[in-house]
Amino acid sequence: MTAVALLNWRSADHYDPTGDKPCVICTKPTPLRSDRGKPVHKVCAEDWIDRHTPEEDNA
């Protein structure tokens, strides 16, 4: 079974009230911001993490 990244973005810090900016992954507008302040949808960030996390060696 593969683990799926689920980010907790309940904090208001992840919402930018100044307006939408293009998501750094899909380029569609979003008011959401990453922990580093980059405009990104939560689902885009979770998908990126899933695709860029090294898999554990089960051997």
Secondary structure (DSSP) of the chain: ----------SGGGB-TT--EE-TTT--EESBB-TTS-B--HHHHHHHHHHHSPPP---
Write out pLDDT tens, residues 38-57.
Answer: 999 999 999 999 898 776 65
- The pTM is what? 0.80
- Tell me: pLDDT of 1 over 60: no
Confidence of residue 3 (pLDDT cuts 50, 70, 90): low
End-to-end CA distance of the chain: 16
